C-alpha cells in the first residue's frame, strides 16, 4: 500500500491562509467613559437636530385626499342607496382612520 508520492505537492500559486484571530481580539477600541454605550448613543441621537424631510406634508395631504374621496363616495352611495358603494366608502374611511392613528402615535 502506497501512502505518499515521491513527487513534491503541486503549488496552487496562492499564499498560505492567514492565521485565525484569537478569541479575545477586539477590532473596536473601547471608550474610557463609564456606563452603557447604547445609552450614550440614544442621548446623543435625541439631542441632535433631526434632518428636515423635503416632503413632510405629503402623507398628510394623501390622507386628506383619501378621506374626502371616501366621504364623497359615501354620500353618493347613501343618496343612491347603493350598499356596495357604502361598504367601499366605509372601507376607505376605516383605512384612513387607521393610517391617521398610526401617524399620530409617538415613535420610539
Say if 50 falls within a structural domain: no
Q: With respect to residue 45, please indicate whether it lies within any of the assigned structural domains.
A: no
pLDDT, residue 41, reads 53
- pLDDT for residue 15: 85
Sequence-separated (6 or more) residues with CB below 8 Å from residue 12: none
Residue 30 inside a domain? The answer is: no
Question: How many residues does this entry show for the chain?
Answer: 108
- 48 part of a folded domain: no
Please indicate, yes or no, if residue 62 is contained in any of the structural domains.
yes
Whether 81 maps to a domain, the answer reads yes
8: pLDDT strictly greater than 80: no
Overall domain count for the chain: 1
Looking at the domain assignment, is residue 104 inside a domain?
yes
pLDDT of residue 106 exceeding 90, the answer is no
**Domain encompassing residue 78:** 57-108
Q: In the prediction, which pLDDT does 80 show? A: 93
Select from 64, 91, 87 the least CA-distant residue to 77. 87
**pLDDT tens per residue across span 15-73:** 888 887 777 777 777 666 555 555 555 555 555 566 666 667 788 888 899 999 999 99
Task: Look at residue 86 and tell me whether its pLDDT is greater than 90.
Answer: yes
> Can you tell me the distance from the alpha carbon of 108 to that of 102, in angstroms, rounded to the nearest whole number?
13
Tell me how far CA of residue 103 lies from CA of 46, 69, 85, in angstroms.
20, 20, 27
Q: Is residue 32 part of a domain?
A: no
Amino acid at each position: 500500500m502506497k501512502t505518499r508520492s515521491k513527487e513534491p505537492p503541486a503549488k496552487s500559486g496562492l499564499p498560505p491562509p492567514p492565521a485565525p484571530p484569537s478569541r479575545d481580539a477586539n477590532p473596536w477600541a473601547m471608550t474610557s467613559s463609564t456606563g452603557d454605550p447604547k445609552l450614550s448613543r440614544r442621548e446623543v441621537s435625541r439631542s441632535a437636530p433631526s434632518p428636515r424631510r423635503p416632503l413632510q406634508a405629503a402623507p398628510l395631504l394623501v390622507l386628506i385626499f383619501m378621506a374626502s374621496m371616501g366621504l364623497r363616495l359615501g354620500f353618493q352611495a347613501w343618496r343612491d342607496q347603493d350598499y356596495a358603494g357604502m361598504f367601499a366608502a366605509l372601507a376607505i374611511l376605516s383605512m384612513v382612520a387607521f393610517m391617521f392613528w398610526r401617524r399620530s402615535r409617538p415613535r420610539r
